[in-house]
Amino acid sequence: MRAERIAGMALLVLLVLLPAVWMVGYAGFYSVGLLGLLRTGLTASWWWQACSGGVLLPSLLLSMTTAVVTTALCLVTGMLLCVAADHWRVERGVGVLLTLGAALPVSAVAFVVLQLCSRGGLLARGLAVWWPDFQPGDFPVLVNDVWSVGIVLAGWLTGVPLTGLFLLSVWRSAGLRRYVELAERLGAGAWRARVCVGVPMLWRRSRLLAFLLLVWNFSAWEAPLLLGRQSPRLMSVLIQQSSGQYSLQDRPLSFVYATVYFAVLACLLLWLPRVHAGVSGGGKAADGGGAV
């Protein structure tokens, strides 16, 4: 057992920690002028330019806001699907549909959103056909918009299948229907029992999923690249487009953005043990209460 643990730790160090340390070290040294084609010696000019240019902070705030909103919508929708599937006893059918949805690539979903929701898209042209007074230009801006509605919509469409499948699995494996049926015997209505009893217990077991969804949505790239604006851009798109795509002189800036991006994700991952401990404690407490 000890040898297996040592082997597992060695693989973790070789496959995860060392590449991560190498990448963040390279990005950090490049951003201060110590590495790369544009190295000039130790300097903080690139960091000053990134922090004072009015690009980094708006992109960081937009990325986090979009990730939080998308994660919240995915969780709420997944829980509603789980409750409805349990109420009408259609868990298997809902699971099949969610599995098919989970197989769709993110880029394909983003392209469909672009074709449907742009001002020249199918929805705008369909409304123009049915309503003579409606012009495609009157359609609300849902793609490349200020509020990132298209990005949130694409993230929601790709996140709901995975969220729903996980929550359905938790609902079955934790036996939450027993607690719902007990609440119904005590006089609660069918929907009220599921919403007031099942959903809180489901949330205790899905906080780790919420955290991982937040990290995943914060790291999204395909949908923001296709559906987002040029300014401000999400961090993933900003890093990719600053890494020499338009000008080699911007490459040190991209490493500054990448270092900040890694620092934010590292802070989130350092919070993971607390989330995991809360999930384990909440699940044990709920199971203990049910046993009593």
CATH of the domain at 251: 1.10.3720.10
Sole residue written with tokens 């409805």: 84
Torsion 47-53-58-59 (CA) sign: negative
Give mean pLDDT, residues 92-100.
Answer: 93
Global pTM reads 0.88
Torsion 148-154-157-158 (CA) sign: negative
Whether 157 is covered by a domain: the verdict is yes
pLDDT of residue 154: 96
Whether 7 is covered by a domain: the verdict is no
Whether 2 is covered by a domain: the verdict is no
Q: Dig out the tokens for 45 from the structure.
A: 């000019």
pLDDT of residue 281: 59
Angle at CA of residue 171, ends 165 and 175, nearest 5°: 150
Greater confidence, 82 or 13?
Answer: 82
Whether 3 has a pLDDT exceeding 90, the answer reads no
pLDDT of residue 134: 86
Ramachandran angles phi, psi of 232, nearest 5°: -80, 155
Whether 292 has a pLDDT exceeding 60, the answer reads no
For residues 164 and 78, the answer to whether their CB atoms sit within 8 Å is: yes
The total domain count for the chain is: 1
For residues 55 and 175, the answer to whether their CB atoms sit within 8 Å is: no
For residues 43 and 33, the answer to whether their CB atoms sit within 8 Å is: yes
Q: What CA–CA distance (Å, rounded) separates 26 from 292?
A: 55
Whether 104 has a pLDDT exceeding 90, the answer reads yes
Q: Dig out the tokens for 263 from the structure.
A: 């620092």
Q: Which residues contact 117 (CB under 8 A, 6 or more apart)?
A: 123, 142, 143, 149, 150, 153
Whether 107 has a pLDDT exceeding 70, the answer reads yes
Whether 1 is covered by a domain: the verdict is no
Give mean pLDDT, residues 273-281.
Answer: 65
Note the helical H segments in the chain.
Answer: 2-12, 18-31, 45-52, 56-88, 91-102, 106-117, 122-130, 149-173, 176-185, 190-193, 199-218, 222-227, 235-242, 251-270, 272-291
Whether 159 is covered by a domain: the verdict is yes
Nearest CA to 227 out of 96, 67, 111, 60 is that of: 111
Whether 35 has a pLDDT exceeding 90, the answer reads no
Banded model confidence at residue 291, pLDDT cuts 50, 70, 90: very low
Whether 133 has a pLDDT exceeding 90, the answer reads no
Q: How far is residue 12 from each of residues 16, 20, 113, 192, measured CA to CA in Å?
A: 5, 11, 38, 45
Whether 5 is covered by a domain: the verdict is no
Whether 283 is covered by a domain: the verdict is yes
Parent domain of 222: 20-291
Banded model confidence at residue 12, pLDDT cuts 50, 70, 90: confident
pLDDT of residue 276: 64
Q: What CA–CA distance (Å, rounded) separates 230 from 145?
A: 10
Banded model confidence at residue 195, pLDDT cuts 50, 70, 90: very high
Whether 6 is covered by a domain: the verdict is no
Angle at CA of residue 210, ends 80 and 170, nearest 5°: 60
Whether 290 has a pLDDT exceeding 50, the answer reads no
